Each structure stands twice: as structure tokens, then as C-alpha cells.
Amino acid sequence: MRRVIVGLAGLAVLVVISLVLALAHPFGNPRATTTVATDAPSTLLLEHALMPVEVRSVLRQKCGDCHSTQTRWAWYGRFAPVSWLMEKDITEAQEQMNLSQWESLPDEEIFLLRAEIGGVAKAHVMPPAQYRVAHADVTLTDEDIRVLRDWAHGDVTSKLGESEKTPEDAGPGDAGRGKQVFASRCAGCHTLEQHREGPKLAGVFGRASGTAPGFIYSFALKKAAVKWDEQSLDKWLANPDAVVQMNNMYFHVAKAEQRRDLIAYLKSSGN
């Protein structure tokens, strides 16, 4: 009996210590800015955002806990060190994208975030594995992924079908500006001279898809054997899935001028 009492006392001490340590926030304190949604439409996440209802629903249910200030804090999040790990993940997630601020973002940033959302959904890297273990209901379904990808590419498809000129009609791009586009939009996955998450891109112009030595491509891209020129690169950068289904590219360049500049830079990169 004495051992049981001692054990319970020790456990109680550990719980108290854990609760006290949880008052510290070594990785930031997103709890301080947490808001609670009510039945009032003005408090609902993304309620007035210009996006389809089904997209809003997916983002609320599958992304809102970490990527907004409307976090639902689980009971175990009150105990350190679990609380520290949760706060770290949420702080980093809000820095990357805070859906609570979506309606105040400039159009250019929204366009970039849409592309990123569609990309990470396609790549199955969100939500993070450790979060899915504790919250199985947030795993993106195939339908969720389709909704987000269609939304991410929607404006690109409509613009290409309406008034945008083809690369030849619009004239050559500017390689200098294209280098800047490459640094800001592509360098996370690509370099010119070395394979990274994506293949090296020096000499890509005029090359067939899936043929850069030493890189493991998707079967679909190798089989497609697309020759990369102004036309094919423009279509690929605008919407990779429209060129080759089941590819591993999960990003796109929405603006035609940026695509032309980027193509000019890739064309000048040589071998």
C-alpha cells in the first residue's frame, strides 16, 4: 500500500512540474493570439474569403488548427514538453501561412499561397505525420486533394483560355528577370548544376523530359518524352498536370510574363 501511495505522490509531483513548465514558451506562444469561432459569421475562419465553399471547408477542417489563430488545443497540450512541441509546430505553421489573415493579404501573395497549397496537397506532405497520428480526421482525402488542386490551377486555366498570348506572340522574355523568378520561385527545389528535390535545369531547353542523367523521375514524365521548348515549358510551368498526369511537380507559375522570363533564363543556361 505504501508503494502505491509513494507512486501516486510521485506521479502527482511530475504532473505539477509538467504543468508549471508548460507556462514557459521557448518556441513562441500562439495561445496568446488564439481566437474562438462562434455562430456569428464574422468569426468563422475564411467566411468572407473569395474561394469556393468546398475549398473553404477543407481549409477549415484540415488546416485551420495550425494555420490560423482558431486552434483547438487538446487537453494533452497543457503538459510540457508536449506543449512546447505543439507550440513550435503551430508557430512555424502560422509564419508560413495564417488563414486568419487571408482576407487582408495582397492578391500576389494569395496567388502564391494557392499554388503552394495545391502543391503540398498533391505531394501528401500536409498535414505533418505527427499531427495525423493524433488527429486521424485531418488526413486529406483524394477528394480534398482534387478540390485544392483544381482551385490552385483554376485561374491559370481560365486565363490561358481567354486572352493570354502564346510565348511566340508575346515576344521573348527577359533572362535577367527570369533569373530573379528562378531564385524566388524555383530555387527551393532546383538548381542549374545539381540535382535537388527536382532535377538540375542547366540545358533543360531542348532536352526531352525525364532524361537528365542521375535523377530519378516519375514514370509518367519519362514515358511522356516531352521536348522542352517555349511552348511545352510554358504549358508545363502554367499547369504541370495538363501536360503530364501523375507527375511529381507540385508548383506552377501563374503569370505569363514570369513564365516567359523564366523560359528565357532557362534557355540561356546552356549545358
pLDDT of residue 169: 55
The amino acid sitting at 157 is T
Beta bridge partner(s), residue 208? 227
Contact 73, 81 (CB under 8 A): no
**Do residues 260 and 170 lie in contact, with contact meaning Cβ atoms separated by under 8 Å?**
yes
User: Looking at residue 63, what DSSP letter applies?
Assistant: I
Q: Give buried/exposed letters for 206-241 (b at 16+ CB in 10 A, else e).
A: ebebbebeeeebbeebeebebebebeebbbbbbbbb
Query: Would the pTM count as exceeding 0.85?
Result: no
Collapse the DSSP code of 84 into the 3-class scheme (helix H, G, I; strand E, B; otherwise coil) and give the result.
helix
The pLDDT of residue 177: 93
Contact 147, 57 (CB under 8 A): no
The reported pLDDT for the residue numbered 157 is 42
d(CA 76, CA 79): 6
- The torsion defined by the Cα of 205, 208, 209 and 210, in degrees rounded to 10, comes to -120
| Cα distance between residue 183 and residue 191, in whole Å | 9
- Give CA separation, 238 vs 5, 127, 180, 242, 267, in Å: 67, 25, 18, 9, 17
Check if the beta carbon of residue 28 is closer than 8 Å to that of residue 85: no
Helices (H), 136-255: 142-162, 167-170, 175-181, 219-224, 230-238, 240-243
Return the domain boundaries, the chain.
Answer: 27-71+85-151, 169-268
Say how far apart CA 139 and CA 257 lie, in whole Å: 36
Q: How far is CA 266 from CA 156, 173, 234, in A?
A: 21, 11, 12
Neighbours of 146 (CB within 10 A): 14
Class at the top of the CATH hierarchy for domain 169-268: mainly alpha
CA distance 202 to 190: 10
Question: If 0-12 CB within 10 Å is exposed, 13-18 middle and 19+ buried, where does residue 256 land?
Answer: buried
Pick left, alpha or beta for residue 83 (phi over 0 → left; psi -120 to 50 → alpha; otherwise beta): alpha
Angle (deg, nearest 10), helices 142-162 and 107-123: 130
pLDDT of residue 164: 46
The pLDDT profile of the chain, 271 residues, written as one tens digit per residue, is 777 787 777 788 887 888 888 888 888 888 888 887 665 656 788 888 888 899 999 999 889 888 999 988 888 888 889 889 889 989 988 988 899 999 888 877 887 788 788 878 877 777 777 777 777 778 888 899 889 888 877 654 444 433 444 555 556 789 999 999 998 888 878 999 999 888 999 999 889 999 999 998 888 888 898 999 999 999 899 888 888 877 878 777 878 898 999 999 999 987 5
